[in-house]
A = this chain, B = another copy of it.
Amino acid sequence: MASSILAHGIPVDPPSPAIRAEADERLAGLATPPGALGRLGELGVWVAATQGQLPPAPVENVRAVVFAGDHGVAAHGVSAFPSAVTPAMVRTFLSGRAGVSALANAHGVSVRVLDIAVDDDLDGVDPEVQRFKVRRSSRPLHLEDALTAEETQAALDAGATVAAEEIALGAQLLISGDMGIGNTTPAAALIASSYGLPASEVTGRGTGIDDSSLIAKQELIQLALDRTGDLAAFETLAALGGADLAASVGFMVAAARAGVPVLLDGVIAVACAVIADRLAPGAAAWFAAGHRSTEPAQSLALEKLGLEPILDLGMRLGEGSGAVAAVPVVRSAAALLRDVALLSELAL
């Protein structure tokens, strides 16, 4: 599916410039001191522009999809946890007791979990969860390409299909969540490769590795970068990403092309956003940054994308949790631009 949606290098139309201009004017005319809403003002303008509608509609239907997958690198000392945690956490999502589940339940956000490349058969789970499975684990990216071109395309297509399905269910805002032991390694590698940064600037502690593992992780990422050199976006994703990340990229590109905004989570989602914006130039205008994670690569990439995180709470859980936690702030921004009186209406 979606070959035109995922065609490389074709620019994405931005959120409505006309509505953006009108929204700026409305913001300036609210019965509040100029600038007093701070970032909530700008965020409300962005919501209106993505909706092509002023005042913006309430952001009620928010849908998160967790793309789960394992990574060959996890067996090479880059993670504090074994890959067996990935299928266990998929089951925890399905029972509604993961971190993102708790947040989503508190804020009326739907969560769907998909096994894209978990290194387990997940016996007994709803087959729908494995409908888009590309393979069991992606290959160790410091030794060989994580995915073949065919696998990369299959994962991109899967993400695009999932985005279309969520949009058909009325999604006004989409979130891409992640689950996969070892996944901060490909995320950091994708960001480093895209911006020509050394491993030393992008490597973080993930779920909480110690100093010696941090050094090993950095060396592994540098090996991967040295192995691949500069590549085009699709090839970068195949070489240094993974099937779960490629599905997330397809999801984001499809959302942007369909004119549905995406709230980004931590380093995994932001790495996917970087690749999405390279594959589909301008896609990042449809993205807002939900939170600042503790991973250095995330902050670096957000700066390059021109995105300022909404929350800064020291979270590093993944799963889409930081984005879901930021959803009420997006709703606040839309509510202010929609419901606050205009100065011209005030009896003064």
* Chain A positions near chain B (C-beta within 8 angstroms): 30-40, 58, 80-81, 84-85, 88-89, 91-92, 95, 97-99, 101-103, 105-107, 207-208, 294, 310-318, 325, 328-329, 331-332, 335-336, 338-341, 345-348
Q: Please indicate the chain B residues that have their CB under 8 angstroms from the CB of A340 in the complex.
A: 97-99, 101-102
Q: List 19 A-B contacts (CB under 8 A).
A: A31-B92, A32-B99, A33-B80, A33-B316, A35-B316, A37-B317, A38-B314, A40-B313, A88-B347, A88-B348, A92-B341, A99-B336, A99-B340, A102-B338, A107-B328, A310-B313, A311-B329, A325-B332, A328-B328
A336 & B102 in contact (Cβ 8 Å cutoff): yes
Which residue of B has the minimal Cβ distance to A291?
Answer: B38
A238 to B53, CA, bound (A): 49
Given contacts A97-B340, A103-B335, A348-B84, contact A207 B329 (CB under 8 A): no
Q: Please indicate the chain B residues that have their CB under 8 angstroms from the CB of A325 in the complex.
A: 40, 329, 332
A315 to B44, CA, bound (A): 13
A101 & B339 in contact (Cβ 8 Å cutoff): yes
User: Interface SS of chain A: helix, strand, loop or mixed?
Assistant: loop
A38 & B208 in contact (Cβ 8 Å cutoff): no
A318 to B37, CA, bound (A): 10
B36 & A315 in contact (Cβ 8 Å cutoff): yes
Q: Please indicate the chain B residues that have their CB under 8 angstroms from the CB of A328 in the complex.
A: 106-107, 328-329
Q: Please indicate the chain B residues that have their CB under 8 angstroms from the CB of A329 in the complex.
A: 311, 313, 325, 328
Q: Please indicate the chain B residues that have their CB under 8 angstroms from the CB of A311 in the complex.
A: 311, 329
A92 & B33 in contact (Cβ 8 Å cutoff): no
Which residue of B has the minimal Cβ distance to A315?
Answer: B38
A341 to B99, CA, bound (A): 8
Q: Please indicate the chain B residues that have their CB under 8 angstroms from the CB of A316 in the complex.
A: 33, 35-36, 38
Q: Please indicate the chain B residues that have their CB under 8 angstroms from the CB of A336 in the complex.
A: 99, 102-103
Given contacts A35-B208, A99-B37, A325-B329, contact A91 B338 (CB under 8 A): no
List the 4 shortest-distance A-B pairs measured between CB atoms, nearest first. A38-B314, A328-B328, A102-B339, A33-B207
Q: Please indicate the chain B residues that have their CB under 8 angstroms from the CB of A30 in the complex.
A: 99
Q: Please indicate the chain B residues that have their CB under 8 angstroms from the CB of A318 in the complex.
A: 36
Which residue of B has the minimal Cβ distance to A347?
Answer: B88
Q: Which of A31, A102, A331 has the most CB of B within 10 A?
A: A102
